[in-house]
Amino acid sequence: MQTCHHNPTEDHINCKGINQQQLLQLLLMFVAYCVNVLKTAPTSIPGILSGLRNNLVLRFVPLDAFDDSLLVALKAAVKRLPYSPRVRLPCTYSMVLYIIQQNTQHHGTKHHFMLAVGVSMAYYLCLRASEYVSKSTIPDPESHQFDSKSVEFQCFNTTTLIPSSGMRSICWTSIEIVRFTIQHAKNVRRGYGIPIWFSTNEDNPDAIAFLQLIYLWARMSTRLPDDPFLSYRSDMGILHCLVYADVHNAIAQCAIGFGFDPQWFKPHSLRMAAPTVLRAAGGDDGDILNLGRWRQVPTSLIYQGTSTTNNNRVLCAVSSPTLFTPTDIHLTRLLPAVKGQNKLPTVRRF
């Protein structure tokens, strides 16, 4: 950009002063920047350059620079660089429980307990990291995190919802409903929250343990209504937040304890965990989409790991001679699909 003196915020290059040699120099510098600074996958750089070429304005821009032998040789060399692709795998349920248990011991601090609550919320609510942790000790005003008003409790025989910052004097036995409202996620319209609520009458002890953990944190932490839910204020009023690095380190240490490479796991591994378990349990596509707030099944599949349980279920299905029979062959031949807009559809066998 120093070479052709134009505004990098513009959508296209429209500078009369740039020539082929200058553009070539920029492209070579760009490739070096991608490899050394951005750590871009070497195999994707040729595609990025092709995208740049296709989106540049043809007028005034010497596109022959993209065909220069030096750039072609550089692209070929970059593709052969050793590269370990980013691997991001889902945590198992046992790993999630391990992190929670390790941070809820009697000798643990309030910060440890907050970490356990954050990991638990990330797993059960299928949260992105931005929805429950802060990148810095002082949260960004535009943060996507749950605030104290977004976690509410309803007592028996009432219709009033109590925000989590007002739970200091409420006992667990009076709680009937725990409600979370996702208000700041990137795919939620501003001003429109997605409510998710749970009943304390659930028979599953693990599910109740999650709700009790939320309740205990709401009761033991001092927060203002607009403070992040996963934060607390000291006696001096200083705000302490759960930060990304804490969750990342906890997951990495857990992975080592389970005999895995810690590079395989990131905080997003918690978001991938629940849909993976639900898919392995034979969960409905609609339930999985609702859990992760995805719009399409192909998108949700990106955030799920494969499992032997799910693969074995498919293996059993395709090994069954009763699901597709000679009768289906005959019906397909006798009742072919009707073509043409003016014809009535044939009967389809399902």
Concatenated DSSP letters of 305-322: ---HHHHHHHHHHHT-TT
Q: 109 and 198: one domain?
A: yes
Specify whether the CB–CB gap between 177 and 154 falls below 8 A. yes
CATH number for the domain including 314? 1.10.443.10
Q: 167 and 268: one domain?
A: yes
Specify whether the CB–CB gap between 187 and 169 falls below 8 A. no
DSSP E strand stretches across 133-191? 151-155, 161-163, 175-182
The larger pLDDT score, comparing residue 26 to residue 15, is at: 26
Domain assignment of residue 149, given as a range: 88-322
Q: 96 and 40: one domain?
A: no
Q: 43 and 103: one domain?
A: no
Q: 206 and 183: one domain?
A: yes
The larger pLDDT score, comparing residue 15 to residue 233, is at: 233
Helix, strand and coil in the chain, % to nearest 5: 45, 10, 45
Q: 68 and 209: one domain?
A: no
Total tally of structural domains belonging to the chain: 2
- Average model confidence (pLDDT) across the chain: 84
Q: Is residue 15 part of a domain?
A: no
Write down the residue that tokens 């395989």 correspond to.
264
Backbone phi, then psi, for 265, in 5-degree steps? -125, 140
The larger pLDDT score, comparing residue 83 to residue 149, is at: 149
Of the three residues 53, 79, 105, the one that is the final residue of a domain is: 79
pLDDT category at 1 given cuts 50, 70, 90 is: very low
Q: 152 and 119: one domain?
A: yes
Which of 48-57, 221-230, 248-257 has the least mean pLDDT? 48-57
Q: Is the pLDDT of residue 226 over 70?
A: yes
- One-letter amino acid for residue 117 of the chain: V
Is the model's pTM score more than 0.85? no
Q: Is residue 341 part of a domain?
A: no
Q: Is residue 170 part of a domain?
A: yes
Q: 160 and 306: one domain?
A: yes
Q: Is the pLDDT of residue 124 over 50?
A: yes
Q: Is the pLDDT of residue 4 over 60?
A: no
What's the rounded Cα separation, in Å, for the pair 197 and 177? 7
Query: How far is C-alpha 249 from the chain's CA centre?
Result: 18
Q: 54 and 195: one domain?
A: no
